[in-house]
Amino acid sequence: MRPFSLGAPRFWRNARCDCRIRLPEMPFAYYSKLSAARQRIYRQSDAIEFLPLPGGIAAGAIVAALRSELAGDSRPGVQAASQRLIDALVRGYDVPPIRVRVLARRPVDGSGELHGLYEPDEARKPARITVWMRTAARRDVVAFKTFLRTLVHELCHHLDYEMYRLPETFHTDGFYKRESSLANALLREEAEAAVAKRSPA
């Protein structure tokens, strides 16, 4: 199955969600073409504007490790740190696990560079997130905040299904606000962990 692009409305449970760039208009142009039932799902998603960091996880050190591995251009290290972060988050949100796969150079086609891909669980296979750590054109290592945000973005698709119990996962304004709130919370945790590490005991 060919994955759907960011602007496409058909993010069914058995479809892969591929993520490239954010479109400028909200709601997306396809909203008016959705059935009444699917517009209700869209509005449900749009109404959820904040995603708090789950309590009880020490995310700061994991985020710092992910930053370090990305700066060191270590694909295995980035994959291991990404998996640790996602494992901690899914435990905190009490949702099924996700496998994380980190690949090198982003694929590109007429729609642009593919940043991340979410594939829901199938049969006995857990859901999977794929992210890429190098840009397509110059093959530069992706900026850390961009990489982290992509990882969180794909997790948000998983949470739409498993935590919010939405039949489909749409890119809505609310979706992007949830993504932003969680990514910012993780960055704050990293900053606070760095301050605590520098402070005298």
* Phi, psi (degrees; rounded to nearest 5) at 64: -60, -40
Residue 12 has pLDDT above 50, yes or no: no
Identify the bridge partners of residue 15 per DSSP, sorted by sequence position: none
- Please give the radius of gyration of the chain, using alpha carbons only, rounded to the nearest integer: 17
Helix (H, G, I), strand (E, B) or coil at 183: helix
Residues 76-123: tens digit of each pLDDT: 999 999 999 999 999 999 999 999 999 999 998 777 889 999 999 877
65-97 burial, b if ≥16 CB within 10 A, otherwise e?
bbbebbeeeebebbbbbbbbbbbbbbeebebee
In this prediction, residues 159-182 reach a mean pLDDT of 95
Please choose, from the candidates 182, 189, 83, 187, the residue with its C-alpha nearest in 3D space to the C-alpha of residue 131.
Answer: 83
Local structure of residue 96 (DSSP, 8 states): -
Identify the bridge partners of residue 101 per DSSP, sorted by sequence position: 130
Beta strands across the sheet bearing 17-19:
17-19, 116-119, 127-134, 98-105
Helix (H, G, I), strand (E, B) or coil at 125: strand
Residue 10 has pLDDT above 70, yes or no: no
Residues 125-135: tens digit of each pLDDT: 899 999 999 99
